[in-house]
Amino acid sequence: MSLRFGPWSVRLAPRALVVGLVLVLVAFAVAVAAISTGEFTVSVPDVLTALFGHGTPVAELIVGKLRAPRVVTGLLVGAAFGVSGAIFQSLTRNPLGSPDFIGFTAGASTGGILGVIAGGTALQIAGGALAGCVGTAVLVYALAHRGGVQGYRLVLVGIGANALLLAANSYLLTRANINDAATAGAWLTGSLSGRGWDHAIPVAVTLAVLLPVCAFVSRPMRMIEMGDDAAKAMGIRVEAVRATAIAVGVLLCAVATAAAGPVIFVALSAPQLARRLTRSPGVTMVASALMGAVLLTGADLAAQRVLAPTQLPVGVLTAAIGGAYLALLLRKDRH
């Protein structure tokens, strides 16, 4: 099914549309549950009135300043990780082509640790994470570029860079003083605790700017999935599209990591789950974004409410779920 808007046309797959609507409803339900439940329960009508600024002072404090920023940050960060993972899995044509495996998350972690050692302010940590992720991406791209970037080469170079950066992170933690090491260790786990609107707004702006770019390059990326020669035969500027997609994926991963820390396995599992639900032959950006938002917010809700009073950081739960999913993925696709 396709819709035309003047010279533009949009192709809609009915199953993908239904899956997207279901994921939107699930994300909304998880968000409402996360905002309304806790030590102080707020009814759903009170949540809605507080969000519009007409609730009681207590409800506005709990909803508007404590819970809603955390939930919105989780939704946006999950969406950014989901799209970033979808981009790299499409470019590498490999389900393991995720920022978690090809060094970008580790590079952001290195930058975040250096930010903690440099002073430990939120701006320094976020700036360090952003610079570390972008710097790692430039290095990996330069090393993998030999007559064009091939998917398998990008994965192999990224895995090597990831190993080196993990070793560097361990070294930095051993050389830091005990307070900086504890702060860096907590940030490296990945958490939404204490996140406010100042964390959510940069991610929202980044998504608003980059998602249209994703929509623009998504069709050429599907052509590239069939092979560079086939894409070039259809008039696709392969290297330009690939470089643009890598830049978008890196920026999304960097901003998401700067906001919530290196929450692992969301970028890996969200695109694959979305692909299986939509039964799409390629990776779908919109479904991956929605699945990432549902996974991260749902994991945070489970870590804070279901496992209470433990209240684990969300990164611990996503690592446990993602590790089990990775084992299942490797068992199913033995090749």
Q: How far apart are CA 300 and CA 69, in angstroms?
A: 13
Residue pointed to by tokens 């999913």: 325
Q: Pseudo-torsion of CA 130, 132, 273, 306, nearest 10°?
A: -70
pLDDT at 115: 93
* Ordered DSSP codes for 199-240: HHHHHHHHHHHHHHHHHHHHHHHHHHTT-HHHHHHTT--HHH
pLDDT at 1: 52
Please name the fold of domain 2-332. ABC transporter involved in vitamin B12 uptake, BtuC (1.10.3470)
**Residues linked to residue 2 through DSSP beta bridges, in sequence order:** 11
pLDDT at 91: 87
pLDDT at 41: 83
pLDDT at 162: 92
- What does each of the 335 residues of the chain score in pLDDT, given as a tens digit? 555 545 555 566 788 889 999 999 999 999 999 998 878 888 888 888 887 777 778 878 888 888 999 999 999 999 999 999 999 998 888 887 889 888 899 999 999 999 999 887 888 999 999 999 999 999 988 888 776 667 778 888 889 999 999 999 999 999 889 898 988 988 898 989 889 999 999 999 999 999 999 988 888 888 887 777 777 888 888 888 888 999 999 999 999 999 999 998 899 889 988 988 888 876 788 999 999 999 999 999 988 877 756 678 888 888 888 777 777 766 765 55
Q: Are 99 and 85 in contact (CB under 8 A)?
A: yes
Chain centroid, CA 27 distance in Å: 15
pLDDT at 254: 93
Structure tokens at 19: 């899956």
Alpha-carbon distances, residue 18 vs 15, 152, 157 (angstroms): 5, 33, 38
Scored b (16 or more CB within 10 A) or e, 168-197 reads bbeebbeebeeebbebbeebbbbbbeebee
Q: Are 285 and 267 in contact (CB under 8 A)?
A: no
Q: How far apart are CA 91 and CA 238, in angstroms?
A: 11
Return the DSSP state at 2. E
Q: Are 171 and 295 in contact (CB under 8 A)?
A: no
pLDDT at 148: 64
At 4, give phi and psi (nearest 5°).
-110, 135
Q: Is 181 helix (H, G, I), strand (E, B) or coil?
A: helix
